[in-house]
Amino acid sequence: MSLANWMRTTNRSRRRFLVDGAALSGSALVLAACGGGNEVVVTQIVTPGQPTDGATSSSAVTTSAPAAPGSTTSAGPQVRIIAEPKFGSTDVGPLTPMTITSFNAKISDLTMTSADGTQIAGTLDASGAAWTLTDRLEYGQTYTFAGTATDTAGTATPITGTIATVNPLATVPVTFVQDEGGTFGVGQPAVIVFDGQVTNKGQAEKQLMLTTDKGAIEGSWGWLQDEDIQGDGILRSQVHWRPKDYWPANTAVSIAANMYGVDYGNGNWGRADVTVNFKIGRKIVTIADVNSFRLRVLDESGNELKNYPVSYGKADNGRETKSGTHIVQGKYPKYSMCNAAFNYCGVEVTWAVRINNNGEFIHENDSTIPYQGKANVSHGCVNMSTANAKDYYDLVVLGDPVEVSGTNSPLTAADYVYDWSYSYDTWKSFSAL
């Protein structure tokens, strides 16, 4: 499989996260702290049923003003400042939602800065009680919070703390098989290849966004087996998106793989956000019934555009052309055929259209012209005359479907691309979500 060389990074869409302060309830472990002026109490919020050993998701500072000597006035409500994740957290993912919530006081000012002094963006809600991170964090950074919450009596409570983001063992890039600006047939799945293995497939799939100029099209992402796609000994994860049926003709497609900050598992994290834009062109479908000895090409309405005499694979010794929906995967004006199992190599053919990564092509072979339209004698490929092969070569584009039928040898997981071999219900089960 030849992978596209083009890939461009893009600024990640800013994300906002809401906080439900009412959900942060439970028992509290209270430690008195020394200091002049107001009494400051550090409160650790504990989720019911969890241990109180510090392994919690939030931290809080609570303060109240002491009564003046001789005063009978009761103390006002205590101020609580809750951070999610809690201050002091390390190995925080760059996409982790971050909120600072104040109870019984309004946040009057709050800044979040990186080690080099860069201020990180956040927003304060209308009530002044919750600050939410709206910027994306970077790997391997320590961020400092500084601010103040002020209650109705004008008493100020400082907001201070730090969090540190994860320093990945490795960051893994992704590649689109579709070229930027390319035009493909209606059977072409969208294919994304990760330059390594993804364990947390659900986390990665959540960050894949596919849109079209025709609105929502029913379809699904599906994770196929990890493969040594490049032949370099590295197993790579791959995820494909295919529609329920073929793509509508003349559809513009955009895909955003927002992978920066995604935890792939085993110390591997996403390296960058990448996008690709391509188009699905006109609809043509090739009908390859091996028992008809013909190759027919139909348009979107089912009208016959072409009808070629051909010879398919001979039905013996594994030479059958595989049944199932193939797609056009490559086009070569000249190609050198080699099949050691049948004792030939270096056989030059012209106008070769690859429909299967296991060696099936539609190509010129003038030596079988006496059999074309009459008998199947090839080693699995579809043989045509030079003139017909050139005509077909000029007609098809990558991703055009080729529906082969009439043999007892089906496409399998060893054949790339075999996405259309599955029913749509089965295909949907390959989604990690």
Residues marked as catalytic? 363, 381
Question: For the chain, how long is the longest CA-to-CA vector?
Answer: 116
Please give the structure tokens belonging to residue 189: 């799945």
Long-range contact set of residues 38-45: C-beta below 8 Å, sequence gap at least 24: 38/63, 38/64, 38/65, 38/66, 38/155, 38/157, 39/63, 39/64, 39/65, 39/66, 41/78, 43/80, 45/82
Distant-in-sequence, close-in-space partners of 195: CB < 8 Å, separation ≥ 6: 172, 173, 174, 175, 234, 236
Q: Which residue has the tokens 């008493």?
A: 155
Strand partners, 243: 219
Q: Which residue has the tokens 């079209």?
A: 212
Q: For residues 41 and 80, give the distance between their C-alpha atoms in angstroms, rounded to a whole number.
A: 9
**From the CB of residue 375, how many other CB atoms can be counted at a distance below 10 Å?**
12
Phi then psi for 205, rounded to 5 degrees? Answer: -65, -30
List the one residue out of 103, 82, 100, 110 whose CA is nearest residue 151.
Answer: 103
Please give the structure tokens belonging to residue 417: 């691309």
Confirm if 281 and 185 have CB atoms less than 8 A apart: yes
Tell me which DSSP letter residue 77 carries: P
Strand partners, 149: 107, 157
Radius of gyration of the chain (CA): 31
Q: For residues 38 and 366, give the distance between their C-alpha atoms in angstroms, rounded to a whole number.
A: 96
Q: Which residue has the tokens 């364990």?
A: 199
